[in-house]
Structure 1
Amino acid sequence: MTFYTYSYLTTHHNTWQYVRIGLLIALLIVFIGLFVYYLRHQWNVKYKDLSIITATLLLLVLGLQINGLVSLQSATKQTGEITATVQQVARQLHVKPERLSINATSTGSDLLVKSPKGYYRLVYSSDGSAFVLEKLTLADPKIKLVKE
């Protein structure tokens, strides 16, 4: 079973977004360079074709970047919800949030919390606005802790 620390939840970033932005900027620079060179030498069609290929790749990477940003926004919202839940659990257990770990990166059913006081299950109300902590004893705990 995998548990994620509070610091992991608050500082976990998607580094692929930065790689995509770098690729997008590099393709844009190459496209501008090829297009300017084509405008200077209009008799050479090779640079027109290369600039069209580069523009197509640029649009593809731009589409992937927009898709990635939408999914990143959704993941950030879910991470904000789970960190707020961890903070509420920490207040109820009278411990610091940094000492808690949770078994998911988004809110949902069957959440388990690992604290210095033991393991707890979060049982949500039917509308999802409140939860109850239920102390558990794990029979065979094989815990993997993911830290930042």
Structure 2
Amino acid sequence: MNFYSYEYLVSNQDTRQLIKIIVIVVLVIAVSAFFFMYLKNRFEIKYKDLGIIFATALLLVLAMQYNDYSNLLNSQKQTGQITQTVKQTAKELKIKPSQVAVNSTNQTDGLIVDTPKGFFRIDFSSDGTSFVLEKIELHDPKIKIIRG
């Protein structure tokens, strides 16, 4: 069972976003360069064709980026909720948030928390603003803590 540390939850683990931004910048530079070369040499159609190809690729990447951006906003909202839950749990147990690990990156009912004081299950209220912390015992736990 994978548990995620507080540092992992706080740090932004989405390096794909950086790669996509780099790809977009490279495509914008390429489209601009081919457009400039086409304007400079109007009789060479290859620059126009290459510019159209790269512009189409740029539009495709931008469309995918918009979809991923909306998913990223939703993910950040959920990550913010789970980090607040970890902070509140640590405060309740009188330990540091860095000593708490959870088994999900989303705020779900039945969340399991690993602390130096043992394992706890978190049951959220129907509106998700409060929770009940219940000590549990795991039989034969095979835990892997993923750190940020």
SS at match of 1:113: strand
> 1:20 Cα shift?
0.7
Deviation at 1:46, TM superposition (A): 1.4
* Cα separation, 2, equivalents of 1:92 and 1:45: 69
* Superposed displacement of residue 128, structure 1: 2.2
User: Which residue in 2 is equivalent to 1:52?
Assistant: 52
1:91: Cα distance to partner?
Answer: 1.0
CA-based RMSD of the aligned residues comes to: 1.0
Aligned to 1:19: 19
Q: What amino acid is aligned across from residue 77 of structure 1 in structure 2?
A: K
Following TM superposition, by how much is the alpha carbon of 1:38 offset from its aligned partner in structure 2, in angstroms?
Answer: 0.9
- The equivalent of 1:129 in structure 2 is 129
The one-character-per-residue Cα deviations of 1:44-71 (angstroms, maximum 9, x if unpaired) are 2111111100100011111122222211
Structure 2 CA distance for aligned equivalents of residues 37 and 72 of structure 1:
37
Q: Secondary structure at the match of 2:106?
A: coil
Q: What is the aligned-residue identity percentage?
A: 45
Q: Give, in angstroms, the shift of residue 127 of structure 1.
A: 2.6
Question: Aligned to 1:121, what secondary structure does the other structure show?
Answer: strand
Aligned length: 148
What's 1:65 paired with?
65
Distance 1:78 1:126 in 2: 16
Alignment gaps of 5+ in structure 2: none
Q: Which runs of 5+ in 1 are unaligned?
A: none
After TM superposition, the score normalised by the length of structure 2 is 0.96
CA distance in 1, matches of 2:121, 2:114: 9
